[in-house]
Chain A
Amino acid sequence: MKKLCKSICSFSLMLILVIALSACNMETSGGNDKKDGDGGKEVIKIGAIFAETGPASTLGKTQANYVKLIQKQLDEAGTINGKKIEIIMQDYETDDTKAVIAADKLISEGVVAVVGATQASTSMAILPKISGEGIPLMTVAPVNPEAKDIYQMAPSNLTNASLIIKFLKENNISKVAWINARDGFGVEGLPSFEKVAKENDIKIVAHEEFDATATDMTVQLTNIRKKNPEAVIVWSRTPGAGIVARNFKALGFDIPMIQSSASANKGFLDQVKDNNENIYVIGSKLSVVDQLPNGEQKDRLKKFREDYRTMFNSDPDNFTAHAADGFHLLIEAIKAGNTTSEDIHNYLKTEVNKYSGLTGSFELQSDYVGPYEDGFSVLGIENNEWKYYE
């Protein structure tokens, strides 16, 4: 009896799997039909690989949303040089393996370029496949600066480091302590900062680590206090980032604390509520659009935010901006008459000189990785909102 029950169970499980799989296929083939029946117009396809679901969806969800927004804008604008642009979005569910499968699928669909992926590790995982086909990859994460054939839309750690150095110099600080989370993001920050700090005569007097989900960082901060730094730099995601800030207040530090761009979100603001004087975060100017001086950059960011708000009733963030820059650069390339992967590569490598994007200005033919620091600023917190300092 038990055996029978078991076999019925496993059989029905198989059945469900088969049905689910065929449903997936149906969906994609349905999509294909629509494309083919598009009045015989020539279609240029751009691929997108974002983490719409899974833990990285905090970053990837708005990027996936943006695909819908830009597709709508493209459709409304009509054709470019008689060609229609279509974006094929793939959700990799915060799973590098699924991202590689998605990359294969995009290649077989014949995309001319790919924007993605949401995370650095994923971008590196799909890079060999995509660059092997000669397809340009516009990553929206800070990847290894040594990587070839990849265009980085997110600011590099070096850019972030020079922003901090600028802030330190303005405040006459020459001795800092560094504390980071013991994960992929946390440990990447220090090497770049060390390099820039050395060039600018800023001493790192203490270095501590903690687990990003740990419950208390008092010991690390006590160790740091012994070294008498003039500022503390934190490189961690939330919740660790917020707990460090809280312990910092409880211990009565009266020096500035500077946090990485991973803390430039609403979650962090809520965590440090009522405890946030002397805390600074590297943030995008997008989060302080209304406080920016009037000018081209303000208009550009404002329009981006309004477009996104109208469609999704929520605000875009920095990560949305990275994705948007990736798509805009590709559309620029196509507008200039480049319709193959090779032509787009050439265009990006030779023609993009001081392109003003949402994340900052790009100069892709130079050795500088990612956007320049002009789209970012060290933000303070006032009344539980970000505060912009000129």
Chain B
Amino acid sequence: MELLMQYIVTGLTVGSIYALLAIGFVTVYNITGILNFAQGEFAMIGALTCITFVNAGLPMYASIIFAILISATIGLIVERTAILHARNTSVIILIIITIGVSTFLKGMGLIIWGTNPKQLTPLIKMEPIHFMGAVINPQSIFIFIVLLILLAVLYVFFEKTYIGSALRACEKNPRAAKLMGINPSTMSALAFTLAAALGAIAGILITPITDATYEMGFLIGVKGFVGMVIGGMHSIPGAVAGALLVGLLETFSGGFISTFYSDAITFLVLILVLFFKPNGIFARASGERV
């Protein structure tokens, strides 16, 4: 029982980290149709700039806001310089561009911050919590709360506001959106800015648990992406559920089978999902597929 509890807690902790990344993936994908593989690097930039500000003596909250703003600006610059000019080429080229951007940002991170892991004190400093024999890191509860808030805010933004609907319209049918007076190019810029800001929030939140290095973005980015594919590419709640599932899969396979195979098992599940439910297990059937 204790073991089971510990695996669930750890799985949800790890899964919520992936979920934060998955949200950013879905946001860009929903609006532009691009898989943004630089999402993990936005998390890295957010985390490391925040640490830089804190070390420079700025108060915590100000550092967090500045770090999010700077990351969002970098997201905007990336879109305006790397994505905009290739806007009319095929999606696969755009995806490859984001891989290039990811490598570039990682390289810059290495040059600016070096290889040593950097620490960030959590907003709420507490001892680990013991609950039914399992140990819970207080920061992971905090991550969970923020995750729920983000879900609610993004739901309202995309479903209830004019600009949110405009953003969604761009992905559903760019041509029709254009005819309705929506500029897909502006919306794409907005999508990347938003995704970079979400990435930065993710990076800042997870750093108290994992520490920040220039290479932190890759693994969590890939896992977040897997979560998104398993949960459904189009829905933010689906992607979050998928990411949590990936976290649980990892810990349960690591705990009950072997940590040597936990990654292999996660990817096996991914392949099975792609075989049997290519739209993701949480996707509702829609009339769009031909």
Contacts and interface: CB of A to CB of B under 8 A. Distances in A.
B115 A58 contact: yes
A11 B128 CA distance: 60
A210 B10 CA distance: 14
Interface string B200-216: 00000010011101011
Contact of B209 (A210, A216, A222): A216
A239 B216 CA distance: 9
A144 interface: no
A211 B6 contact: no
A385 interface: no
A215 B17 contact: yes
Contacts of A220: 254, 259
Nearest to A266: B116
A332 interface: no
Interface in A261-279: 265-267, 270-271, 273
Nearest to A208: B259
B185 interface: no
Nearest to B106: A55
A222 B6 contact: yes
A119 to B, nearest CB: 13
A121 interface: no
Contact of A213 (B110, B137, B218, B250): B218
Contact of A270 (B3, B10, B110, B116): B116
Interface string B117-144: 1110000000010000001010000000
Interface string B1-44: 00100110010011001000000000000000000000000000
Interface in A172-214: 208-211, 213-214
Interface in A86-119: none
B259 A213 contact: no
B100 interface: no
B162 interface: no
A163 B251 CA distance: 33
Contact of A222 (B17, B213, B255): B255
A252 B135 contact: yes
A270 B119 contact: yes
Given A223-B255, A243-B210, A270-B116, A216 B216 contact: no
A215 B220 contact: yes
Contact of B210 (A215, A252, A266): A215
A222 B3 CA distance: 8
Contacts of A213: 213, 215-216, 218-219
A223 B259 contact: yes
Nearest to A53: B111
Contacts of A242: 117, 211
Contacts of A214: 219
B275 interface: no
Nearest to A216: B14
B276 interface: no
A218 B259 CA distance: 11
A254 to B, nearest CB: 14
A24 interface: no
B117 A239 contact: yes
A361 interface: no
A209 B260 contact: yes
A381 to B, nearest CB: 15
Given A215-B220, A216-B10, A273 B119 contact: yes
Contacts of B128: 250
A208 B255 CA distance: 10
A252 B129 CA distance: 11
B275 to A, nearest CB: 26
Contacts of B262: 219
Contacts of A218: 6, 10, 13, 135, 251
A267 B210 contact: no
A213 to B, nearest CB: 5
A252 B2 CA distance: 14
B279 to A, nearest CB: 28
A57 interface: yes
B117 A215 contact: no
A250 B259 contact: no
Given A210-B259, A219-B7, A238 B116 contact: yes
A243 to B, nearest CB: 6
A80 interface: no
A58 B114 contact: yes
Given A213-B216, A215-B209, A243-B210, A271 B259 contact: no
Contacts of B250: 219
A140 B105 CA distance: 30
A209 B259 contact: yes
30 contacts: A54-B110, A57-B115, A58-B116, A209-B259, A210-B259, A213-B213, A213-B218, A215-B14, A215-B219, A216-B13, A216-B210, A219-B251, A219-B254, A219-B262, A220-B259, A222-B3, A222-B7, A223-B255, A223-B259, A238-B213, A239-B211, A239-B216, A243-B211, A250-B128, A250-B137, A251-B135, A252-B135, A266-B116, A270-B116, A270-B117
* Leading 4 A-B pairs by shortest Cβ distance: A267-B116, A239-B117, A219-B254, A58-B115
Interface of B: 3, 6-7, 10, 13-14, 17, 110, 114-119, 128, 135, 137, 206, 209-211, 213, 215-216, 218-220, 250-251, 254-255, 259-260, 262-263
